[in-house]
Amino acid sequence: MSAHVSWVLELNIQPGRDADFRALMAEMVAATKANEPGTLNYEWSVTADGKQCHTCERYADSDATMAHLDNFGSKYAERFMAVLTPVRFTIYGTPSDEVKAALAGFHPTYVAPAAGFIR
């Protein structure tokens, strides 16, 4: 198994906040791509009705996850929570206790590796 940490975060987009959501999403994607080499996947998807967003994220390890969370907390958390409401948060892999503590407020479900591979 790998040291990767990944998750799917399902969020409701606040009514009337689509433009704010789209601007924040574009800003976060560009900054993450440019400044976080340990972020391996960072994908946002929106339902056809535009009411819900899912983020699928994968980090090289718990240190890379914490680098992302530090950036999120200092730069984006307030705006993120103003336009998005978390619905379900599922975390995969073996995150460190530090990562778990940082994400505890989201009340995630942890799913441990059982079998498989990464190419």
Does residue 101 lie within any of the structural domains? yes
Question: What pTM was computed for the model?
Answer: 0.94
Mean pLDDT in the chain?
96
CATH number of the domain that 50 lies in? Answer: 3.30.70.100
CA atoms of 103 and 12, how far apart (whole Å):
18
Strands (E), 14-83: 39-46, 52-59
* Containing structural domain, residue 57: 5-111
User: From the centroid of its chain, how far is CA 76?
Assistant: 12
Would you say residue 35 lies in a domain?
Answer: yes
pLDDT given at position 43: 98
Note whether residue 118 is domain-resident: no
Q: Is residue 119 part of a domain?
A: no
Q: Residue 78 falls within a domain, yes or no?
A: yes
Q: What total of structural domains would you count in the chain?
A: 1
Q: From CA 26, how far away is CA 94, in angstroms rounded?
A: 29
Burial category of 64 from C-beta neighbours within 10 Å (exposed 0-12, middle 13-18, buried 19 and up): buried
Question: Is 95 part of any domain?
Answer: yes
pLDDT tens by residue, 14-35: 999 999 999 999 999 999 999 9
